[in-house]
Amino acid sequence: MRKARIKEEGPGFYHCFSRVVDRRMVIDDYEKETFHTLMRNMEGFSGVDVLTYSILDNHWHMLLYVPEREEVDDAEFVRRLAYLYPERKVRRAQKRLGKLREEGKDAEAEAFKQKFTYRMYDLSEYMKTVLQCVTSGFNARHDRSGTLWESRFKSILLQPDASDWSASSGGQVSAIAAVAAYIDLNAVRAGIVKDPKDYRFCGYGEAAGGNPLARKGLGVVMRSLNVEGDWGSVAAHYRQFLYLTGEERGVDDEGRPIKHGFSAEEVQAVLDAGGKLTFGQALRCRVRYFTEGLVLGTREYVEKAFRRHRGYFGVNHRREAYPLTGAEWGGLHSAGPPRRTPIMVSSTV
């Protein structure tokens, strides 16, 4: 029997991800564009916000915010239908709903709306719709059948609270910002680009290109670090977060890092010596905490989530929160230790 997902009571932030079956490199630029369109359309329909994302050749990541469920009036209901359905179906739905209202059949009208609105403000329904539609389109174009994904998508619950992050003082790191940077650096880890703004299938690249939804999403991310303002301010702070002072050799007049990342040899040498990576170095590696940790945040937040979802964990899982190891994580904890090496020099996931 499948375990229920670990979800927040009310609004929540989640890191979601999955891989192509057999990890085949089959998501080309056309498929990435299709994935992106479906992702954004479902965002408009469901009310679930995409804060950032990365779509690679054989896997994807999303950082999602699921708000509290709200009542949707008739006008808003019809507007949202247009994100997912053809115009003729939207018109039929609008006509039927209007007729039921005119006849005073409000209970029937609400029941009709419920056939669609149950998929709104719901993490599982959001991902189910996107992934099924991507699979259906991919199978039709490539004359295949069956699932495109190796398993159901995974999700990590992230602490929503802002923190007083400081790279120099070792203060707490926002789980939301850490995961956002990890996602946007995917293409850098994979060796596709040296600068994440040059990868158009990630949130940061889309925001740098001017997309207002992508910029809005990163604005939410930076609020978790107590940074607010217009896009110029948000962009400057987020870029600094991606390229930490002291990690890179600064940036040039156009905002490009003078030294791009860290070599695999540099990182592996630290790991082999049993030392700790810096925060910036760790984000350029595969971090299993971000894909296997179940819950990510301060010790207090993880402990509360663990107790709330105690039935999810096995009887032998007695510890509530584990401090992240292998790097300077600024106080982040997870609900469980990774099953294998926590940090790997790898271009995947």
Q: Which pLDDT tens digit goes with each residue over 170-202?
A: 455 789 999 999 999 999 888 899 889 999 999
The predicted pLDDT at position 255 comes to 57
Distance (Å, rounded) from C-alpha 277 to C-alpha 341? 14
Distance (Å, rounded) from C-alpha 43 to C-alpha 47? 6
The predicted pLDDT at position 166 comes to 47
The predicted pLDDT at position 251 comes to 52
Yes or no: say if 331 and 172 are a contact pair by the CB < 8 Å rule: yes
Please, which residues have CB within 8 angstroms of residue 294's CB and are 6 or more apart in sequence?
6, 156, 157, 312, 334, 335, 336
For 83, the 3-state DSSP assignment is: helix
The predicted pLDDT at position 336 comes to 80
18 φ, ψ (degrees, to nearest 5): -165, 165
Domain count of the chain? 2
Angle among Cα 139, 145, 150 to the nearest 5 degrees reads 90
User: CA nearest 255: which of 266, 246, 243?
Assistant: 243
pLDDT tens, residue by residue, 94-135:
999 999 999 999 999 999 999 999 999 999 999 999 999 999
Which burial class, exposed, middle or buried, applies to 73 when counting CB atoms under 10 A from its CB (0-12, 13-18, 19+)? exposed
The predicted pLDDT at position 59 comes to 96
Chain centroid, CA 154 distance in Å: 11
The predicted pLDDT at position 200 comes to 94
- Domain span at residue 102 reads 74-117
313 φ, ψ (degrees, to nearest 5): -95, 150
The predicted pLDDT at position 249 comes to 45
**Is there a single domain that holds both residue 173 and residue 247?**
yes
The predicted pLDDT at position 128 comes to 96
Q: Which residue, 85, 117, 149, sits at the end of a domain?
A: 117
The predicted pLDDT at position 167 comes to 43
**Is there a single domain that holds both residue 272 and residue 240?**
yes
Other CB atoms within a 10 A radius of the CB of residue 240 amount to: 15
The β-bridge partners of 149 are: 20
**Residue 319 located in a structural domain:** yes
**Is there a single domain that holds both residue 246 and residue 136?**
yes
**Residue 54 located in a structural domain:** yes
The predicted pLDDT at position 246 comes to 32
**Is there a single domain that holds both residue 215 and residue 327?**
yes
The predicted pLDDT at position 264 comes to 61
The predicted pLDDT at position 169 comes to 36
**pLDDT less than 50: residues of the chain:** 164-170, 245-250, 257-260
